[in-house]
């Protein structure tokens, strides 16, 4: 029997994304965001607040990177989520993270995180109930240590963390439970009479 929980953001897992951008002064602004997702083959949507220093920087420069946080750098990812760049001017310097300028977009690539998407600003969608930064993914960078034999990111090697909306925890991901477009094939065949 299910129990009423009220209004709960009951989506799990949520990615732990670390967004980085240069502001107009060239200062690195970075933040942690769990409310983001791929929304097209070359697009990512980040559901942020318009007042974040990172959001303002994205508006100013039209570019940003999105890194996948991993277990090894969980403290740094959490720090950039709980400290505001609007209140701490040297937030990035205090994070202990390092960055290199992207060769493809005008944004910093955070060196510690194993996978990063380099993005240009496609649009900012702003309605009465939604604020989303949509980026066009120009390129994805990955450390060789997280790649499999075919050159694809191996989630088990990535050791990405996921955010838990229910109890506000971080959970490590990576154990394969099944194969997409295969796990339900028997049910699909039965439904199609094959």
Is 4 among the domain residues?
no
Is 8 among the domain residues?
no
Whole-prediction pTM value? 0.94
Is 2 among the domain residues?
no
Is 27 among the domain residues?
yes
pLDDT of the residue at 107: 98
pLDDT of the residue at 185: 87
pLDDT of the residue at 193: 81
The predicted-structure confidence for 43-97, as pLDDT tens digits, reads as follows: 999 999 999 999 999 999 999 999 999 999 999 999 999 999 999 999 999 999 9
Is 6 among the domain residues?
no
pLDDT of the residue at 59: 97
Average pLDDT over residues 104-124: 98
Alpha helices in the chain (DSSP H): 53-61, 74-82, 91-95, 155-158, 185-191
CA 181, CA 21: separation in Å to the nearest integer?
36
Average pLDDT over residues 135-152: 98
Burial readout 89-123 (b: 16 or more C-beta within 10 A, e: otherwise): eebbeebebebeebeebbbbbbebbbbbbbbbbbe
The predicted-structure confidence for 32-43, as pLDDT tens digits, reads as follows: 999 999 999 999
Burial class, 153, CB count within 10 angstroms (exposed 0-12 / middle 13-18 / buried 19+): middle
Burial class, 25, CB count within 10 angstroms (exposed 0-12 / middle 13-18 / buried 19+): exposed
The predicted-structure confidence for 1-12, as pLDDT tens digits, reads as follows: 999 999 988 888
Instruction: Give percent helix, percent strand, percent coil of the chain, each to the nearest 5.
Output: 20, 35, 40
Structural domains counted in the chain? 1
Of 114, 115, 118, 120, nearest to 139 by C-alpha is 118
CA 147, CA 145: separation in Å to the nearest integer?
6
Of 161, 173, 171, 140, nearest to 16 by C-alpha is 161
Least confident window among 84-88, 135-139, 163-167, 172-176: 172-176
Percent of the chain at pLDDT > 90 equals 85
pLDDT band at 177 (very low <50, low <70, confident <90, very high): confident
What is the domain-level CATH number for residue 128?
2.30.110.10
Is 5 among the domain residues?
no
Is 60 among the domain residues?
yes
In 113-168, DSSP assigns E strands to 115-126, 131-142, 161-164
pLDDT band at 189 (very low <50, low <70, confident <90, very high): confident
Average pLDDT over residues 174-190: 86
If you average pLDDT over every residue of the chain, what do you get? 95
pLDDT of the residue at 65: 98
Range of the domain at 124: 14-191
Burial readout 168-178 (b: 16 or more C-beta within 10 A, e: otherwise): eebeebeeeee
Is 3 among the domain residues?
no
pLDDT of the residue at 187: 86
């Amino acid at each position: 029997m299910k129990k009423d929980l009220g209004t709960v953001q009951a989506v799990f897992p949520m990615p732990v994304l670390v967004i980085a951008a240069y502001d107009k002064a060239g200062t690195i602004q970075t933040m942690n965001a769990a409310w983001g997702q791929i929304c097209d083959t070359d697009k990512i949507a980040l559901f942020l607040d318009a007042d974040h220093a990172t959001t303002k920087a994205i508006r100013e420069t039209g570019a940003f990177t999105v890194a996948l946080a991993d277990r090894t750098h969980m403290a740094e990812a959490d720090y950039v989520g709980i400290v505001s760049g609007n209140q701490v001017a040297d937030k990035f310097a205090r994070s202990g993270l390092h960055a290199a300028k992207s060769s493809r977009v005008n944004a910093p690539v955070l060196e510690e995180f194993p996978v990063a998407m380099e993005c240009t600003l496609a649009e900012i969608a702003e309605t009465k109930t939604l604020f989303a930064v949509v980026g066009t993914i120009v390129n994805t960078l990955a450390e060789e240590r997280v790649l499999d034999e075919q050159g694809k990111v191996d989630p088990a090697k990535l050791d990405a963390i996921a955010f838990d909306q229910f109890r506000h925890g971080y959970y490590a991901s990576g154990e394969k439970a099944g194969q997409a477009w295969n796990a339900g094939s028997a049910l699909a065949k039965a439904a199609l009479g094959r």
